[in-house]
Structure 1
Amino acid sequence: MSLGPFSLRVSLVAAAVLLAWIVAGALARRRKLEEPSAASGLLLDAVIAGFVAARLGYILQWWPEYRAAPLSMLALGDGGFAWWAGLPVAVLVLWWRSRKARAGLRLPALGGLAAGLLAWALVLHLGTALRQSVPPLPDLELETLAGEPQRLDAHLGRPIVVNLWATWCPPCRREMPVLAHAQQHWPEVAFLLVNQGDERHLVDDFLARSGLELRDVLLDPASRTMQASGARVLPTTLFFDAQGRLLDTHVGELSRAALADRLQRRYGLAPRQPRE
């Protein structure tokens, strides 16, 4: 199963926007405005402008990665939004649109925006708390493509990125070049590509057709890694520190920019200029 571009993060953002819209309308009705729905509409205009600005800001921030794969600019599910660009634009649009005759809509719209931001901040805090309670890197013995046993914890001592994938999963196949690129550019990180449920010959055939040079491809025919980590969809990418503690999770297809962003934020690794 795959969520495609609609990851859990995107769903939570949509829920926060819905809450902001409801609060703006409720505050407008409380102030007995003639058109309470206008406050919700004003808020949505500001939110849309903010999301566009946030996406453009993120693309500019990671321009070398997006320039190497232009279509990934459309992959909104990679979570690539720069709040520092989106929030000021949203506030400015709201303030500008609510001037003069529509000034009465300003406070309800700002209240809705504040409610949405607070909800999103609480979700982020909850996500951080949940990550601290999840199990560490699974203590599993898997197989290499050569049929040799290999433990996931054999790479402890350096950052570990575990990508859960399958040959039948289109987003998994699309993100393989991103992971191949990462293995070449960040050798200090162990990128483990753990196949879930496929037979060995299917994995061999896929890798032969892809023409990619991939290391540390492991076979997990019983999908034990998904069960141990609590992952529910493919692809899922798990970011562990050198001690095996989970730092971050990405559900859905990874873009070059999204992966480089997480490597920088979670491990302090500087972006690397893509080599074509």
Structure 2
Amino acid sequence: MMSIGPFPVKIVGVFAAILLAWLVTRAVAKRLADVSPKLAGAVLFDAVFWGVIAARLGYIAQWWEDYFATPMSMLAIGDGGYSWWIGVPAALAFAWWRTRTMRVRRPVLTGIATGVAAWFTTGLVVGLLHHSPPLPELHLATLEEQPISLLSYQGRPTVVNLWATWCPPCRREMPVFEQAQAAFPGVNIVMVNQGESAQQAQAFLESQGLTLSDVLLDPFSRTMHAVGARALPTTLFFDAEGQLVDSHMGELTMASFKSNMSRHFAQSAQLATDEE
């Protein structure tokens, strides 16, 4: 998992692209007569704001059944649920409309274009340089305290969720994984508890009325170290060959989980949909 400090590199890349867009907007504005760099920068930030709102609403519309089933999940903006193919055109459209009576259109549109180009380029470079770690070879234990190897799940797409009972977002997303285990029988969804005993994990599951399979114990949190996870919850998506194809730090909603499934495990996701 690539990160800069406690922040995923994807998030850092987005903020870096916005900063670059602002700097370019102001630089272009300064080169033009009678154009306020401050006003141009303000319009850019307005465009970014409305672009993000449009991206979120577009994503909610795409997965509306899951979001409307649990309306509060719409507010879980950390779930990664944004349709940027809607957000970027929306930001450009807002900037074009907002600058219809201003002389800042050129610097604002130039800034947006630069930021978007930098964001896509950074994503491509990171993708080329990033080495995806395999499913770690770790010997863990079941809730019955029977030994089990994490590699025993290789051969099918596997989702590994790292969690603990003291972690509020872990607790909130547990029903998502309970539902996912039923919805995607062709995918291993493995819940690896970090740093706690079988009694602690079992007591929590029973108190919440959760019926989860493949709950494993990692009392020394070796899985976090092996995959480079910096916080809980962390969810890792491995393909059938055991190669990491995606990761998410923070709480997942059912919509964002299904989105990841459709992007990386399309066949398994489609089979589940057909069975429903």
Settle same-fold status: TM greater than 0.5.
yes
**2:196 paired with 1:198:** yes
Q: Residue 145 of structure 2 corresponds to which residue in structure 1?
A: 147
Structure 1 contact 163–194 (Cα < 8 Å) conserved: yes
Aligned positions of 1:252-263 closer than 5 A: 252-263=250-261
Q: 1:80 is matched by which residue type in structure 2?
A: G
Specify the SS of the correspondent of 2:104. helix
Deviation of 1:123 after TM superposition, in Å, equals 3.0
Percent of aligned pairs with the same amino acid: 50
Deviation of 1:130 after TM superposition, in Å, equals 4.6
Specify the SS of the correspondent of 1:215. coil
**2:50 paired with 1:52:** no
Q: Residue 94 of structure 2 corresponds to which residue in structure 1?
A: 93
Aligned positions of 1:47-86 closer than 5 A: 47-86=48-87
Q: May I ask how many residue pairs the two structures share in their alignment?
A: 266
Q: Residue 3 of structure 2 corresponds to which residue in structure 1?
A: none
Gapped regions of structure 1 (runs ≥ 5): 1-5
Q: Residue 211 of structure 1 corresponds to which residue in structure 2?
A: 209
Task: Encode CA deviations 1:187-236: one digit per residue, 9 max, x unaligned.
Answer: 10000100111122111111111101100000001111111111111111
Deviation of 1:272 after TM superposition, in Å, equals 4.3
Deviation of 1:32 after TM superposition, in Å, equals 3.8
Change (3 A) 1:51 1:192: same
TM-score normalised per structure 1: 0.91
Structure 1 contact 10–79 (Cα < 8 Å) conserved: no
Deviates more, 1:52-61 or 1:77-86: 77-86
Specify the SS of the correspondent of 1:237. strand
CA distance in 2, matches of 1:55, 1:7: 20
- Please, what is the CA RMSD of the aligned residues? 1.8
Change (3 A) 1:203 1:257: same
Q: 1:142 is matched by which residue type in structure 2?
A: L
Deviates more, 1:231-240 or 1:16-25: 16-25
Q: 1:245 aligns with which of 243, 246, 249?
A: 243
Gapped regions of structure 2 (runs ≥ 5): 1-5
CA distance in 1, matches of 2:221, 2:56: 35
Q: 2:64 is matched by which residue type in structure 1?
A: W
Aligned positions of 1:169-180 closer than 5 A: 169-180=167-178
TM-score normalised per structure 2: 0.91
CA distance in 2, matches of 1:84, 1:188: 30
Structure 2 contact 36–104 (Cα < 8 Å) conserved: no
Change (3 A) 1:23 1:265: same
Structure 2 contact 161–191 (Cα < 8 Å) conserved: yes
CA distance in 2, matches of 1:71, 1:142: 35
Deviation of 1:11 after TM superposition, in Å, equals 4.3
Q: Which has the higher contact order (CA 8 A, sep 6+)?
A: 1
Q: Residue 30 of structure 2 corresponds to which residue in structure 1?
A: 29
Deviates more, 1:170-179 or 1:77-86: 77-86
